[in-house]
Chain A
Amino acid sequence: MDKVRANLMLCAGTGCVASGTPKVKEALLEELKKRGLDEEIKLVLTGCNGYCAEGPVMAVYPDQVFYQKVTVEDIPILVEEHFLKGRPYQKLMFKEPEKKTAIPRMGDIPFFKHQVLRVLRNKGLIDPEKIEEYIARDGYQAMAKALTEMTSEDIVKVVKDSGLRGRGGAGFPTGLKWDFASKVKSDIKYMLCNGDEGDPGAFMDRSVMEADPHSVIEGMVIGAKAIGAHHGYIYVRAEYPLAVKRLQLAIDQATESGLLGENILGTGFDFHLEIYLGAGAFVCGEETALMRSLEGKRGMPRPRPPFPAHKGLWDKPSVLNNVETLAQIAPIIMNGSEWYRSLGTEKSAGTKVFALTGAVNNVGLVEVPMGIPLRTIIYDIGGGIRKGRKFKAVQLGGPSGGCIPESHLNTPVTYEDIVATGAIVGSGGMVVMDDNTCMVGTAKFFLEFTADESCGKCTPCRVGTKILLDMLTDITEGKGKESDIETLLDLGRDIISTSLCGLGQTAPNPVLTTIKYFRDEYESHIRDKWCKAGVCRNLTTFWIDEKLCKGCGACLRACPSKAIIGEKKQPHKIIQEVCVHCRTCYEACKFKSIKILPAGFEGDPSELLGAAAAGEGKKGDLK
């Protein structure tokens, strides 16, 4: 052990594995051996680092040098330069977007610099398959404290005072939930973990389960003690095989070490934990539905009350917490509620992990104090919009959430402020959209999702979402009617007020927020048959502005249906009869000479384009 002079923390999360971690690992081991460095340089496979887009990523400790997009071909030079000659290898470092200078240290990279790691405290630092490494980072100390020094009331009080709110979506105070369940008298109670991360665009729970499975287990044991439960289940999506494997390994190791099972740490407290694989139903994220699914039935929600704290799994008092919530518990027990409250706002304390994806430069998981503005996340951490395009909207909260426009980017991310915009914090999916995105199409995308995932138990959700979807489909196909917008709004409000569970009660949000902030887009779809983003095929005409066209031929080569003609260095032309409106030429053109016009447009579009350009100017450019 004392011989080791450097640790290579190679990410082995789902993202990096897909990008090539297994091959890189083999190459690294071989190269280190070849150079006789295998005794002094240790390779550790860590859980998800969060910076998935640049994977495979690797951090070198103790010097904290961060390498990204590591390939097998890079390994010989990397090992020679860094570990033999002592010169960190610049080619694989993060480069500042503007100056192109390399930033060697992980802590200096903007993506990591603004983050505060509480939930993700162990990401990239430990081997998730070894319990010793979790323990070495103070793991299970909070559990020991809770089991030996604290009463159930003490635990509930600390968690209540911390202001921790459920990170799964609704933001219900965790301490309160535990308080209810702890006061119910019952011989059997259940402590459950919701790892059925169904929101498309969110993957923080997967990351935590893969990178730090013991933190979830520790949180569950503490919760079990608080409410007086001796049995628990972790409900995980079957789509997350790596998370399942690591959790099972963690449970086995903890049980072997006496940290789970009978008589934990000799305190006389028993807690048995099992994994239950979900089978792919979005509605199972809803607590009563998840409990039905755990019982082996159709995962359909039921009306509350009775609340699960009184009648949950098999009608026994149960508490269901989200993965990220549970991962917050141990630090709160160790450091106290005041420490937790030192970050965040009065009503939204602590940190929240967001899955920043879509049209931003830096894609990945970010953990930030609640209350910081959306803009900071998207521009400072996310590095702004890809390919220099314009920001259009950020989608928060998945299919239950909404789209927030540029004008609201200074909104602080707290449960209350985000709800005021019409979106929700949800589980923390944050998908950034640029001006290539059609907002009607986006609303349709989410309604396709909810209409498909509606369990069918209550009519407003089952029928309502389908009608919303049909109307949106009509609008995107050019069959929209003038009255449609009002009908969408009315119906949306009705669905919200009459649906049984959270799925239906939030399903219209994507429609309502896009109408609220992008009503002009709906109107141009309906009235002008014009999808200005050029996404809805029936509502576009692609046209080359001859004044701007340089005749480079990029569009001509890219066009899959050979609809573009023109000599080299001469303005090109699109044969409208042949064009399939696939938008490929629009992407290919480097001179912005291809314009998107209303469906079936003929004649001189200059007046129309002038108006459109003025309209764009009004919204204000983003720096």
Chain B
Amino acid sequence: MAEPKILIVDDELIVIKSAERVLKSEGYSVEGALGGREAILKMGQNSFDLVFTDLKMPEVDGITLIRWIKKTKPDVGIVIITGYPSQDTIKEALELGIIDYVPKPFTPSVLLDVTERAVEWTKGKKPEEAKTAEEFPPAMAAELDRVIAQLKKKPGALIPVLQRAQEIVGYLPPVVQKRIAKGMNIPEAEVHSVVSFYSFFTMKPRGDHNIRVCLGTACYVKGIEGVLKKIQDTLKINVGETTEDRKFSIEAVRCLGACGLAPVMVIDQETYGAMSPKKALEKISQFDPTIIESASAEQAEEMAEKEA
């Protein structure tokens, strides 16, 4: 791609002029359009890579312009410039698929920063989260949005929303956290701060079968450490990790309240008491019979090595 061509759309000339000045100094090719109508006309004549647009404009407003661009020129990247980031309009724009937004008034460095990212994005080097976003099935996203809409009015809703989100998606990757932040109109940092605080939330995908090992006192006294070590050695993963085939994951929990049965392990929803390393492997092997075989084969190998 040659020089990225940028169109600045605003109903105030001063905004167009100042943006032009900043961007041209960095070697971008820039044109301006006073309002949505003019923008549509200009885009019909020339092709642009990137459009910066205001939202509040007379006649053809920003949202209408974005819809038109998305429909007729879907390859053009869109960034919004707005002085009154009303949550609803921004949310709407985000849903339409804009890349980013610049708050008004802006400093040259902010504008350049956003421009650089947006250019990268239109070149096809989409950022990591955008890629994941594509893998995130629309149905899941819809369900997530429904949950957010249903709970967001209640005070203290973030934790219940996250709990439901984890039920729906299985884990809480950045893309999900962002969606929740947007949906609830709270900073992403706040969502992340809660996710990272509570042990119930995980940012890594879990296996088909989640093995939760109780590290409570009673289980400790009765030897859960040996059980955990055996499971880790056999599955070759640590606590908090998932096997490569995504079949199993191990999680350490602080007391399942089933101390009478210590040491205790839970696979999915099923609780198993009085575990020993051997019994634990037997329980796990019901989901994958090769577990025990490979474990004993390994032992034989080790023995052979030692004998040699």
Contact = CB atoms under 8 A, between A and B. Distances in A.
Contacts of A433: 221
B260 A296 contact: no
Given A296-B156, A297-B158, A437-B221, A15 B273 contact: yes
Nearest to A583: B226
Interface residues of B, number: 45
B222 to A, nearest CB: 7
A505 interface: no
Nearest to A240: B257
A64 B129 CA distance: 63
B227 to A, nearest CB: 13
A230 to B, nearest CB: 15
Nearest to B229: A582
Interface stretch (B59-67, B109-117, B212-220): B212-220
A18 to B, nearest CB: 4
B80 interface: no
In the complex, which of the residues A197, A198, A298, A446 has the most CB atoms of chain B within 10 Å of its own CB atom?
A: A298
Contacts of B255: 197-203, 239
Interface in A1-49: 14-15, 17-19
B258 A14 contact: yes
A297 B156 CA distance: 7
Interface stretch (A98-106, A117-125, A273-281): A273-281
Contacts of A239: 253, 255-257
Contact of B222 (A358, A398, A562): A358
Nearest to B271: A18
Interface in A180-203: 197-203
A448 to B, nearest CB: 8
A446 B216 CA distance: 9
Contacts of A293: 159
Nearest to B198: A279
B28 interface: no
Contacts of A18: 258, 261, 264, 270-273
Interface string B178-202: 0000000000001001100111110
Contacts of B159: 276-277, 279, 293, 296
Interface in A215-247: 237-241
A17 B257 CA distance: 13
Interface string A558-585: 0011100000000000000010001000
Contacts of B221: 357-359, 431-433, 437
Interface residues of A, number: 62
A298 B197 contact: yes
A418 interface: no
A449 interface: yes
A120 B222 CA distance: 27
A58 interface: no
B306 interface: yes
Contacts of B216: 200-201
Contacts of A14: 256-258, 271
Given A18-B273, A296-B156, A280 B254 contact: yes
A52 interface: yes
Contact of B198 (A15, A280, A363, A431): A280
Given A358-B218, A358-B222, A398-B217, A449 B254 contact: yes
Interface string B116-155: 0000000000000000000000000000000000000001
17 contacts: A19-B273, A55-B260, A200-B218, A201-B259, A202-B255, A202-B257, A203-B257, A240-B257, A279-B163, A280-B198, A280-B254, A281-B197, A296-B160, A363-B260, A395-B217, A429-B259, A445-B220
Interface of B: 155-160, 162-163, 190, 193-194, 197-201, 215-222, 226, 253-262, 264, 269-273, 299, 302-303, 306
- Lowest 8 A-B CB distances belong to which pairs? A52-B260, A200-B216, A279-B198, A18-B271, A296-B158, A200-B255, A201-B217, A357-B218
Interface of A: 14-15, 17-19, 51-53, 55, 197-203, 206, 237-241, 276-282, 293-300, 314, 355, 357-359, 363-364, 395, 398, 429, 431-433, 437, 442, 445-446, 449, 453, 455, 560-562, 578, 582
Given A296-B157, A445-B217, 4 more contacts: A15-B261, A15-B273, A202-B257, A239-B253
